[in-house]
Structure 1
């Protein structure tokens, strides 16, 4: 007697297997499981570019809807890396749409530390659309590079304070720094971040 092997549950499949099965069968449940695995990564990327958090959450959901069609038509190799790049591009598209819809054609980028670091943003009057897109992307890339260039303590404190919304005491507990050092890392980190952004050759102003 032969028994029909039951189909594997989505949770039992690897990323690659889920991608293949979704492309062949189109079961959104498969894609949902795959996306949920990497949703923290997607949300982290969206929070770097979009504020408030509700906008980032909306972008996460919008991206999933786009993937329903995209992943039926395209083969993807390294899914986490591809998804991270796709999320970043989706956020850039949102920023560009805001630029076109903004008053007086002004483009304002709110970086992760927008509340206290207005100097890290960009205010640019709209001209040639291609130039504006290049400007936007260059500044966003410059911010990423600037964070990576900071000393570890400064970078970690900035990420916890601005991206994860931790208070000074929480940061001290998570990092082992005393409160004075936490405040020093935040102050020096903001200063160094601004200095790097002001001098970055790829960040056209």
Structure 2
């Protein structure tokens, strides 16, 4: 019986663990799922936080965050969703430490992880930049805004955006391209205006 249970767990997919956790609320299921991806979580945390102890703390904080979020979040691809949650957690920690998100790499998808730079900016400057970004997002057409938010902030691929929004795949690409251009123009206008 024990070997059968052990063998069954070894064959569990991420989706199986996630379903089991949601069904039972058993933290052991979530822990086993999280352990599969802990190296990736640590690597992302270390890349952003640049300190081993801070990265280790963040790994534990992300796990604690998952306990609640997975009860309500719709997750199709756990690994990519976890990567996004981890990245966002680290960005919030950096923001709290007066780290500024530089805009030069913000829209370069290939280098989206490199847009975090430490500068001696003030909290007021950071708040202004974040406020401007929020204002500019609101100026986009609804389709552009949804596409940009899902692509850059939730790290969904074109196909996932199309499935989630009902937009045609070719339209998603167009909305992203136009939304990115319009957002960049708006941000530049706010900086120079």
Distance (Å, rounded) in 2 between the aligned partners of 1:121 and 1:128: 13
| C-alpha distance after superposition, 1:168-205 (max 9, x if no partner) | xxxxxxxxxxxxxxxxxxxxxxxxxxxxxxxxx89999
Give 1:127 shift: 1.5
- Give the match for residue 72 of structure 2: 73
Distance (Å, rounded) in 1 between the aligned partners of 2:41 and 2:72: 21
- Asked if 1:44 is matched to 2:43, the reply is yes
- Give the match for residue 84 of structure 2: 85
Distance (Å, rounded) in 1 between the aligned partners of 2:74 and 2:19: 8
Give 1:69 shift: 1.0
Q: Structure 1 residues 69 and 89 mapped into 2: Cα distance closer, same or farther (>3 Å)?
A: same
In the alignment, structure 1 segments of 5+ residues that lack a partner are 1-5, 100-106, 110-119, 136-200
- Over the aligned positions, Cα root-mean-square deviation in angstroms equals 3.1
The one of 107, 119, 122 aligned to 1:122:
119
Q: Is the 8 A contact 2:21 2:29 kept in 1?
A: yes
Distance (Å, rounded) in 2 between the aligned partners of 1:79 and 1:60: 16
The structure that has the greater radius of gyration is 1
Stretch moving more, 120-129 or 43-52: 120-129
Distance (Å, rounded) in 2 between the aligned partners of 1:90 and 1:22: 22
Give 1:52 shift: 1.6
Q: Structure 1 residues 59 and 77 mapped into 2: Cα distance closer, same or farther (>3 Å)?
A: same
Q: Structure 1 residues 133 and 47 mapped into 2: Cα distance closer, same or farther (>3 Å)?
A: farther
| C-alpha distance after superposition, 1:104-162 (max 9, x if no partner) | xxx478xxxxxxxxxx6322122155434479xxxxxxxxxxxxxxxxxxxxxxxxxxx
Q: Structure 1 residues 42 and 133 mapped into 2: Cα distance closer, same or farther (>3 Å)?
A: farther
Give 1:75 shift: 2.2
Q: TM-score when scaled to structure 1? A: 0.50
Aligned length: 120
Q: Is the 8 A contact 2:44 2:83 kept in 1?
A: yes
More helix by share: 2
Distance (Å, rounded) in 2 between the aligned partners of 1:59 and 1:134: 26
Q: Is the 8 A contact 2:58 2:90 kept in 1?
A: yes
Distance (Å, rounded) in 1 between the aligned partners of 2:25 and 2:13: 16
Q: Is the 8 A contact 1:96 1:133 kept in 2?
A: no
